[in-house]
Amino acid sequence: MPSESRRQYYEGRYEIFDPSAIQTYPLSTRPNKVKLEDLVDPAKVLETDYRHSEEQASLIEEVAGVVTDARRAGHPVVVITGAHLIKNGLGPLLVDLVRRGVVTLVATNGAGAIHDFELALVGETSEHVPNALPGGKFGMAYEFAYYNEALNLGHEMHLGYGESLGRMIRDASFRQRVLDRVGREDSPTGFTHPETSVLAMTYDRGVPMTVHASIGTDVVDQHPNFDPSAKGGTSGTDFLIFTRHMATFTEGGVVLNIGSAVTGPEVLLKAVSMVGNVGKPPKALTTADFDLRPHDPAVMSDESAAGYYYRDQKSIVTRIPQAFGGRGYYVQGDQRTTVPVLYQAVMRHLT
């Protein structure tokens, strides 16, 4: 929605910011910290020796076995992730797991989708915030107009957030409709590296990728063609897609949460309550949480302890699996090593 019409739409008592004066620049001119060579190569990951304690290595091996057993039995495997899995260059591992049919749904936040979009578009991501912020340039690359317009068009077509972005990357006719609205001669008109994209692979495979976004939390929200109703509407649809998928856990399944401290755990908590309410609770649900912080199971009921307020540890590892007769795992460590080790273990169990 153009900023002028948005101002006209607002009829409240307060002044509203006019984003039409925002100045942008071509994404190709922005220095980025993450480039193609920083992305992991799944084949090389399989040949790399990652150091872990015996306890953590055994735990990851067990989780990998649960994942592959679930898929052999036809049960779903969901991966919830924050933005850092993509930003840390681990996206190709998730792409490969989707391609192999190991993962049946991917859920992320707005930032995760943005990093994926940038990598697919230009093969780079992760701008240097301290350098860009003082001049008001942080998040001001023009090509975010494409991202927003994909959501605007998707909202008009009653699509979800992840499907709208995946469709822009993989569907030439949909992409052209976006470009017809906001394309510029000095901006790229095609995605140069779709092979890096989780959004693209999930769209190709018909696997849902749901994006659980907030308003005002993402750089795309800063742009003149940002329409909060489109962002909220498509993300709201994704929440219902996610919840419908949780209704397929009636005979078991696995949820992996990788680095999502609040959004993913809260979305999962509401979704399992909803499916339970309609008579389809997730039975024998196995969960695994991958994060850096120490975990003390003894404080999950102690409201005076800091650990009680770690939503991933309390919901993913404890409350949700306990409520549905399952088991929760906690894998502590840097995801740049724990996730490759998990990938290695899954590949071993698949052969």
Q: Is residue 8 over pLDDT 70?
A: no
Assigned token pair, 31: 């220095």
Q: How confident is the model at residue 307 (pLDDT cuts 50, 70, 90)?
A: confident
Q: How many domains does the chain have?
A: 1
Q: What is the CATH number of the domain that holds 217?
A: 3.40.50.10690
Strands, E, within the chain: which ranges? 32-35, 77-81, 105-108, 124-127, 209-211, 253-258, 285-291, 327-332
Helix (H, G, I), strand (E, B) or coil at 261: coil
The mean pLDDT value of the chain amounts to 94
CA dist 187 → 25, 141, 164, 169, 210 (Å): 10, 10, 20, 15, 27
DSSP 283-322: TTEEEEEEESS---GGGTT-TTSGGGG-HIIIIIIIIHHH
Asked whether residue 153 is domain-assigned, the answer is yes
Asked whether residue 330 is domain-assigned, the answer is yes
Q: Is residue 254 over pLDDT 50?
A: yes
Q: Is residue 3 over pLDDT 60?
A: no
pLDDT at 212: 98
Q: Which of 48-52, 83-87, 301-305 has the highest mean pLDDT?
A: 83-87
Asked whether residue 46 is domain-assigned, the answer is no
Asked whether residue 127 is domain-assigned, the answer is yes
Q: Is residue 259 over pLDDT 60?
A: yes
pLDDT at 7: 52
Q: Is residue 5 over pLDDT 80?
A: no
Asked whether residue 40 is domain-assigned, the answer is no
**pLDDT tens digits, 178-222:** 999 999 988 899 999 999 999 999 999 999 999 999 999 999 999
pLDDT at 301: 84
Q: Are 68 and 349 in contact (CB under 8 A)?
A: yes
Asked whether residue 65 is domain-assigned, the answer is yes
Asked whether residue 154 is domain-assigned, the answer is yes
Q: How confident is the model at residue 309 (pLDDT cuts 50, 70, 90)?
A: confident
CB atoms within 10 A of CB 301: 11
Asked whether residue 44 is domain-assigned, the answer is no
What domain range includes position 287?
Answer: 24-31+53-350
Of residues 258 and 299, the one with the higher pLDDT is 258
Q: How confident is the model at residue 2 (pLDDT cuts 50, 70, 90)?
A: very low
Assigned token pair, 282: 């997730």
pTM, full prediction: 0.94
- How far apart CA 319 and CA 270 sit, in angstroms, is 12
Give the orientation angle of helix 110-122 with respect to helix 91-99, to 10 degrees: 90
pLDDT at 153: 98
**pLDDT tens digits, 33-84:** 999 999 999 999 999 999 888 889 999 999 999 999 999 999 999 999 999 9
**pLDDT tens digits, 89-148:** 999 999 999 999 999 999 999 999 999 999 999 999 999 899 899 999 999 999 999 999
Q: Are 45 and 344 in contact (CB under 8 A)?
A: yes
Distance of CA 247 to the CA centre of its chain: 20
pLDDT at 262: 94
